[in-house]
Amino acid sequence: VPPPEPRDPKTRKADTLAKLREPNADVWVATAAGDPYLVPLSLAWIDERAVIAVQPGSRTARNITEHGRARLGLGPTRDVVIIDTVLDRVTGPDDAPIADGFAAQADWDPRDSPGYVYLVLRPERIQAWRESNELPGRTLMRDGSWVV
Amino acid sequence: VPPPEPRDPKTRKADTLAKLREPNADVWVATAAGDPYLVPLSLAWIDERAVIAVQPGSRTARNITEHGRARLGLGPTRDVVIIDTVLDRVTGPDDAPIADGFAAQADWDPRDSPGYVYLVLRPERIQAWRESNELPGRTLMRDGSWVV
């Protein structure tokens, strides 16, 4: 069967935001420090920022704080959103807007366990596509600004 | 509801191999060249190797051929397989075992389009888990050898 028609830009943006705000959303977080690293983590989307909760000594935390960048992938792989991000700030359980926002979207609360920090990641580029007929127009955000 | 009981090692290995051999399997491929890079690609599992098809000029191909490593993630993120790989070899459409094996598992054949090469990736470490109660025992292969 042929794939469905490509979505128009506004639908694609709305679908992407819905995916980012989905309860219990998970995200593949790719980081690097020489070698590539990749783990699945809970995602919260708060005020146009991608927020993850990590232990400061984890490899993901160290790679991002040292290198400043992460690339995020949300699946399934034939309905993807890919986000290039830069580290905006590291914050903790006392940061109520972030901590409450994270707990509201995720199915767990990092404040229930000791030691977690939140990495607040600012998106620079967001791409979204389903089948190859959606590769044209896949860039929804460029240089931190929505283009649709 | 509590998560199901953790799987025993042999079940986990069998589930992992089934996932790697699944028709139309897709994989998140994380590579690095300074910045982290991440794309979803079709996966074939041939003779204990992870095989992807890429254009030689793509960023994934260049990162892997220059750096020698890729980290692969198969989702969904609460039933994951993560594979650390090293580049075994780059091969082409004339390599029948690889090209035929790839076309047999994927839902497309790179030989139908010009320019594709196959990156044959040798797994060094394979981890698999569902919920956090499966984090113990998540390493199924270490230093290229199955430990279960």
Per-residue pLDDT tens for B49-76? 999 999 999 999 999 999 999 999 998 7
For residue B27, what pLDDT is reported?
A: 95
Task: Give average pLDDT by consecutive 10-residue segment, chain B, 148 residues.
Answer: 88 96 95 95 97 98 97 89 98 97 96 97 97 93 96
pLDDT classification of A138: cutoffs 50, 70, 90: very high
A107 vs A104: CA distance, rounded Å? 8
Amino acid at A122: R
Report the predicted TM-score, pTM, of the whole model to 2 decimal places.
0.94
Query: What is the distance in angstroms between the Cα of A32 and the nearest Cα belonging to chain B?
Result: 5
**Is the reported ipTM for this assembly greater than 0.85?**
yes
DSSP E strands: which ranges in chain B? 26-33, 35-42, 44-46, 49-54, 69-74, 80-91, 117-129, 139-142, 145-146
Q: What is the model's pLDDT at position B4?
A: 86
For residue B36, list chain A residues with Cβ-Cβ distance below 8 A.
Answer: 30-32, 36-37, 63, 67, 69-71
C-alpha–C-alpha distance, residues A84 and B19, integer Å: 28
- In chain A, which residues have their Cβ closer than 8 Å to the Cβ of B1? none
Angle made by CA atoms A104, A45, B2, in degrees to the nearest 5: 45
Q: Give the helix/strand (H/E) hosting A66.
A: helix A59-67
Chain B residues with CB-CB distance to A129 below 8 A: none
Q: Which is nearest to A30 in space by CA: A76, A69, A78, A88?
A: A69
pLDDT single digits (tens) A25-65: 999 999 999 899 999 999 999 999 999 999 999 999 999 99
* A137 contacts A12 by C-beta, under 8 angstroms: yes
